[in-house]
């Protein structure tokens, strides 16, 4: 995990200590000394929506005589808006397992303009700085900087000491808020060969300088806009302006040179002898004899796979820890609790014992970042799952993902690349899901009473990738389920008698049924009936003028709504919305609306169908998607105008 030989290598831009040119660094103001420009700043000129701005983020990494990695870092932030005050709550994570990393020399201050017009500096009491264990691997230093308000300048610094350069991390120039100045200086170990790759937009130039005598290299960027969360966003990491490092080789004392894992076959070889991976396989676990007899009696490999999958899930609890390497699968099985890799390596062991063809699968979940298949380094992946081959089909199982059916690829890895860890049948594969989608069918049977209240019954059938999060949400917090999925975007809506069916059968749709009521908007003699209910598309999610990231739905989408509404005897529609079909030029997204009025029954019938046939849209297609969604939500939200027959004009 911390071996820099396992970091992703994207480009062999090697820099050796014998080929450095000279550089000099521009000095920063002293700790707690603020410039007139910083004091006067009220808005970020290159990101005007920002709540705060990083004035500078500066770090220098060097080594001592024990070749430990020593990093000294300073961060200065100015609060521009009320929401920016949250940056005064500071959390600095570090890798504490085995005392690999320790943080020291922690100091923090805040500067506020006083009644006299001068900036007054207050130090954070060291007693307010505390350490907290996050999990068995990580801890964090936490502190809250006091008296922070709009206009405050906060600054903090610390020193990180790591046992070796295996802990060298990538440098990220970009954050959620804009950064005016970001600089990282690295001193390269003697005899080491490093590679690095810079990720930066063409309009955001990077300055790279090196120094011959000291073996240092500097990376510097200025005026970088913030990368904030965007709807249907995949990994932030893929879009951050950053520099990635990779130790690619090391020259020994006798001139011999070692290269690290340069092919995927070498990756397999390294993994299969790793104590936390390959040596955790082929383990005999204490499994119920009755269960194994039942498995052996099953004729269908698919049924065997599903049974083992559920057996592991019912007998193990995830401890919240991820990663690729297990501590001890036998111990985890005995304790009935383990990390993600422990649970899935146990699953692989039991699937193999059941006679199935199964291999470990390294995956990079969507939030972790994309895999580059040209460079064989396992830090491109963040966890392990089970890969089962049955005939011509394959299945991806995550024993820690309790709500995902065994025949469904976990949503976190759909549309990603993964690595099958096997010398003969292994390699990079793409996990695509053509059969399953995010699918919802909404049925509404309702009446409008003479007092102008719409009341009735709603039935929502959720299939495949729509079912999974809804079941998880309901089981974890039943009281909040209705608010989360049905109430939050519809003012005045009330619901009762919620009932969920098929909770224990993941091969069937999750049926959600309830009664509801809501007022019909009244404007004089006219009433406005809204029927875009329970779709999740009440509002356009794409409202920003620009977008930095791809739109990633994960899978294809299908939504249909059928509403049948009976009107009071003296009411009738003034006009009906016209039937319409709107399609993107490449047919990737479409919406259909059909409206019909049954005069003899005084009843309205409305049907909406929204279909998305492409799971990913590149960022440069955002303007077209945004415009389509604007038109689509207008169609969905167009209300039906009703009037009383007695109010008809002569």
Q: What is the pTM of this model?
A: 0.81
- Bridge-based pairing of strands 557-566 and 438-448 is parallel
User: Could you tell me the maximum CA-CA distance found in the chain, to the nearest angstrom?
Assistant: 105
For 157-187, how does the pLDDT look when each residue is reduced to its tens digit (9 = 90+)? Answer: 999 999 988 888 889 999 999 999 999 999 9
Asked if residue 469 and residue 368 are part of one domain, the reply reads: no
- Which pair of tokens denotes residue 113? 């303009």
For range 521-550, the mean pLDDT: 89
For range 389-397, the mean pLDDT: 95
CATH of the domain at 585: 2.60.120.1130
Asked if residue 323 and residue 247 are part of one domain, the reply reads: no
Asked if residue 574 is part of any domain, the answer here is yes
**Nearest of 503, 501, 500, 507 to residue 486 by alpha carbon:** 500
- Which pair of tokens denotes residue 347? 């699953």
Return mean pLDDT, the chain.
89
Asked if residue 260 is part of any domain, the answer here is no
**Nearest of 310, 335, 331, 194 to residue 259 by alpha carbon:** 194
The fraction of the chain above a pLDDT of 70, given in percent, is 92
Residues whose CB falls within 8 Å of the CB of residue 225, separated by 6 or more in sequence, listed in order: 46, 47, 174, 178
Inter-residue contact 560 to 607 (CB < 8 Å): yes
Other CB atoms within 10 Å distance of the CB of residue 65? 5
pLDDT interval class at 15 (50, 70, 90)? very low
pLDDT above 50 (res 7): no
Asked if residue 205 and residue 269 are part of one domain, the reply reads: no
Per the structure, how many domains does the chain have?
Answer: 3
Please report the pLDDT score of residue 562 as a whole number: 98
**Nearest of 583, 630, 588 to residue 612 by alpha carbon:** 588
pLDDT interval class at 235 (50, 70, 90)? confident
For range 58-79, the mean pLDDT: 95
Asked if residue 507 is part of any domain, the answer here is yes
pLDDT above 90 (res 315): yes
CATH of the domain at 359: 3.10.620.30
Supply the range of the domain harboring residue 356.
Answer: 265-431
pLDDT above 50 (res 280): yes
Q: Which of 401, 431, 461 is the last residue of a domain?
A: 431
Asked if residue 222 and residue 155 are part of one domain, the reply reads: yes
255 or 345, which is more confident?
345
CA-based angle 286:290:291, to the nearest 5? 70
Asked if residue 619 is part of any domain, the answer here is yes
d(CA 470, CA 548): 29
Asked if residue 77 and residue 171 are part of one domain, the reply reads: yes
Please report the pLDDT score of residue 5 as a whole number: 33
Asked if residue 256 is part of any domain, the answer here is no
Torsion of CA 533, 534, 536, 540, to 10 degrees: 10
Asked if residue 388 and residue 292 are part of one domain, the reply reads: yes
478 or 292, which is more confident?
478
pLDDT interval class at 362 (50, 70, 90)? very high
- Which pair of tokens denotes residue 614? 């492409």
For range 336-350, the mean pLDDT: 95
- Which pair of tokens denotes residue 450? 């003479």
Asked if residue 272 and residue 236 are part of one domain, the reply reads: no
- Which pair of tokens denotes residue 632? 């689509």
pLDDT interval class at 247 (50, 70, 90)? low
Please report the pLDDT score of residue 389 as a whole number: 96
Asked if residue 456 and residue 389 are part of one domain, the reply reads: no
d(CA 109, CA 493): 48
CATH of the domain at 41: 2.60.40.3140
pLDDT interval class at 341 (50, 70, 90)? very high
Other CB atoms within 10 Å distance of the CB of residue 259? 11
The terminus-to-terminus CA distance of the chain in angstroms comes to: 80
pLDDT above 70 (res 427): yes
For 201-210, how does the pLDDT look when each residue is reduced to its tens digit (9 = 90+)? Answer: 888 899 999 8
- Which pair of tokens denotes residue 128? 């307010």
Q: Which of 431, 464, 494 is the last residue of a domain?
A: 431
Strands (E), 81-206: 89-95, 101-113, 119-123, 130-133, 138-144, 153-162, 171-172, 179-187, 192-199
Asked if residue 279 and residue 239 are part of one domain, the reply reads: no
The fraction of the chain above a pLDDT of 90, given in percent, is 68
- Bridge-based pairing of strands 130-133 and 171-172 is unpaired
Asked if residue 80 and residue 51 are part of one domain, the reply reads: yes
For range 565-586, the mean pLDDT: 93
Asked if residue 321 and residue 276 are part of one domain, the reply reads: yes
Please report the pLDDT score of residue 263 as a whole number: 84
Q: Which of 431, 452, 467 is the last residue of a domain?
A: 431
Please report the pLDDT score of residue 522 as a whole number: 86
Residues whose CB falls within 8 Å of the CB of residue 490, separated by 6 or more in sequence, listed in order: 518, 533, 538
d(CA 101, CA 424): 38
CA 45, 47, 52, 58 torsion-angle sign: negative
Please report the pLDDT score of residue 434 as a whole number: 83
Please report the pLDDT score of residue 19 as a whole number: 36
- Which pair of tokens denotes residue 492? 């005045």
**Nearest of 143, 139, 98, 111 to residue 125 by alpha carbon:** 143
pLDDT interval class at 404 (50, 70, 90)? very high
Asked if residue 156 and residue 30 are part of one domain, the reply reads: yes
d(CA 325, CA 345): 9
Please report the pLDDT score of residue 210 as a whole number: 87
388 or 525, which is more confident?
388
For range 426-451, the mean pLDDT: 93
pLDDT interval class at 114 (50, 70, 90)? confident
């Amino acid at each position: 995990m911390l071996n820099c030989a396992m970091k992703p290598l994207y480009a062999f831009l090697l820099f050796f200590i014998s080929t450095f040119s000279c550089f000099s660094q521009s000095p920063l103001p002293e700790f707690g000394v603020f410039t007139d420009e910083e004091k006067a700043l009220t808005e970020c000129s290159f990101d005007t929506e920002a709540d705060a701005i990083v004035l500078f983020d500066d770090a220098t990494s060097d080594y001592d005589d024990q070749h430990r990695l020593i990093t000294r870092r300073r961060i200065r932030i100015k609060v521009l808006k009320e929401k920016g005050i949250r940056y005064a709550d500071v959390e600095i994570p570090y890798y504490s397992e085995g005392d690999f990393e320790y943080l020291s020399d922690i100091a923090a201050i805040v500067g506020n303009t006083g009644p006299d017009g001068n900036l007054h500096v207050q130090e954070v009491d060291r007693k307010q700085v505390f350490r907290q264990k996050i999990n068995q691997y990580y801890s964090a230093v936490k502190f809250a900087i006091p008296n922070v308000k709009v206009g405050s300048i906060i600054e903090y610094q610390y020193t990180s000491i790591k046992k070796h350069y295996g802990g060298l991390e990538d440098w990220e120039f970009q954050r959620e808020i804009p950064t005016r100045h970001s600089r990282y200086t690295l001193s390269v170990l003697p005899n080491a060969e490093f590679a690095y790759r810079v990720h930066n937009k063409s309009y955001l130039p990077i300055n790279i300088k090196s120094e011959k005598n000291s073996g240092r290299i500097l990376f510097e960027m200025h005026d970088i806009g913030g990368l904030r969360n965007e709807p249907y966003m995949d990994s932030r990491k893929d879009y951050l302006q950053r520099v990635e490092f990779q130790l690619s080789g090391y020259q020994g004392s006798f001139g011999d040179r070692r290269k690290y894992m340069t092919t995927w076959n070498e990756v397999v070889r390294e993994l299969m002898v790793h104590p936390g991976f390959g040596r955790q396989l082929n383990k005999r676990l204490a499994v119920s004899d009755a269960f194994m007899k039942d498995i052996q009696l099953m004729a269908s490999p698919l049924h065997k796979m599903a049974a083992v999958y559920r057996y592991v899930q019912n007998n193990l609890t995830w401890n919240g820890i991820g990663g690729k390497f297990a501590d001890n699968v036998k111990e985890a099985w005995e304790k009935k609790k383990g990390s993600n890799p422990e649970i899935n390596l146990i699953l692989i062991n039991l699937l193999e014992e059941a006679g199935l063809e199964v291999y470990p699968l390294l995956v990079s979940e969507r939030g972790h970042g994309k895999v580059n298949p040209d460079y064989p380094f396992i830090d491109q992946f963040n966890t392990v799952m089970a890969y089962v081959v049955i005939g011509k089909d394959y299945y991806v199982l995550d024993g820690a993902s309790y709500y995902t059916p065994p025949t469904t690829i976990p949503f976190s890895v759909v549309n990603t690349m993964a690595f099958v860890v096997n010398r003969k049948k292994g390699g990079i594969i793409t996990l695509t899901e053509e059969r399953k989608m995010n699918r919802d069918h909404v049925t509404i049977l309702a009446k409008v009473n003479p007092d102008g209240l719409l009341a009735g019954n709603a039935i929502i059938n959720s299939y495949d990738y729509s079912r999974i999060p809804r079941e998880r949400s309901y089981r974890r917090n039943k009281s909040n389920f209705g608010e989360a999925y049905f109430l939050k975007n519809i003012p005045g809506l009330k619901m009762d008698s919620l009932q969920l069916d098929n909770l224990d059968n993941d091969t069937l749709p999750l049926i959600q049924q309830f009664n509801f009521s809501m007022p019909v908007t009244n404007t004089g003699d006219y009433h406005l009936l809204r029927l875009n209910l329970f779709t999740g598309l009440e509002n356009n999610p794409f409202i920003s003028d620009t977008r930095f990231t791809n739109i990633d739905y994960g899978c294809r989408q299908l939504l249909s709504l059928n509403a049948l509404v009976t009107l009071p005897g003296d009411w009738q529609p003034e006009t009906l919305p016209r039937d319409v079909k709107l399609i993107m030029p490449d047919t990737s997204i479409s919406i259909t609306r059909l409206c019909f009025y049954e005069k003899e029954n005084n009843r309205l019938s409305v049907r909406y169908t929204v279909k998305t046939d492409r799971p990913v849209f590149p960022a440069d297609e955002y303007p077209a998607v945004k415009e389509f969604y604007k038109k689509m939500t207008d169609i969905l939200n167009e209300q039906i105008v009703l009037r009383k027959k007695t109010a008809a004009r002569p």
